[in-house]
Amino acid sequence: MDLDEAEIMMDSAVEATQRAFNTIRTGRANASLLDKVMVDYYDTPTPLKSLANVSAPDASTLLIQPYDKGILNLIEKAISLSDVGLMPNNDGKVIRLNIPPLTSARRKEFVKLAAKYAEEGKVSIRNNRREAVESVRKQEKKGEISEDEERDKLDKIQKLTNKYIAEIDELLAKKEKEITTV
């Protein structure tokens, strides 16, 4: 694994952490809350966002307009069975999800969940660092690079690691602020 590969892997870890953060409720309606919802469409699990337009007309409502009106009940069932924790209201044309305000206890739970996701992202970055360091050390043992080059590469790997861990910390701080803001 070279430096470019390590950077790509660390960047993808940050993106995965951001996607995980998007699934956490903040008290405001956000279409990404439904990203993990899968609808059993013709016996095939299909992401909700490929079957319907999801929008947030106001801060406390999500509006789901299916492209095919015949699957309203399937979408309603999928949302009810998901871990989103919201009850769908089906009026025959669209499905509305009312987002209730978060209690302080629920906000604390979501902050803990965000911290867990951030830690998973950091672990992924550290694993990428470990692989890159092992690769550099093997190159030095084989005589492909000098000790000075090894030291330089190890320094660059550590700087990359610090940079991406700082990004995750920033994302976490931003998400915690969103969650705790009433």
Q: How far apart are CA 133 and CA 138, in angstroms?
A: 9
- For residue 120, CA distances in Å to 8, 31, 113 come to 17, 24, 11
Taking only the tens place, the pLDDT of each residue in 143-154 is: 888 889 999 999
Name the nearest CA neighbour of 87 among 57, 50, 95, 52. 95
HSE, CB side, 13 Å, CA atoms: give it for residue 105.
0
**For the segment 80-134, what is each residue's pLDDT rounded down to a tens digit?**
888 777 788 888 888 898 888 878 888 899 899 999 999 999 999 999 999 999 9
Residue 9 sits in a domain of what CATH number?
1.10.132.20
Q: Which pLDDT score is estimated for 182?
A: 67
Question: What pLDDT, on a 0 to 100 scale, did the predictor assign at position 129?
Answer: 95
Q: Name the amino acid, one letter, at 148.
A: D
Name the phi and psi angles at 171, rounded to 5: -60, -40
pLDDT bracket for residue 10 (50, 70, 90): very high
Assess whether 131 and 83 both reside in one domain: no
- Residue 82: domain span: 31-98
Domain containing 35 — which CATH number? 3.30.1360.40
**Mean pLDDT over each residue of the chain, to the nearest integer:** 88
pLDDT value at position 101? Answer: 80
The answer on 121 and 175 residing in a single domain is yes
Tokens of 85: 């924790």
Residues 83 and 140 placed together within one structural domain of the fold: no
pTM for this prediction: 0.74
Assess whether 111 and 175 both reside in one domain.
yes
CA distances to 18, 27, 154, 175, 177 from 158, in Å? 22, 37, 6, 26, 29
Which one of 98, 118, 135 terminates a domain? 98
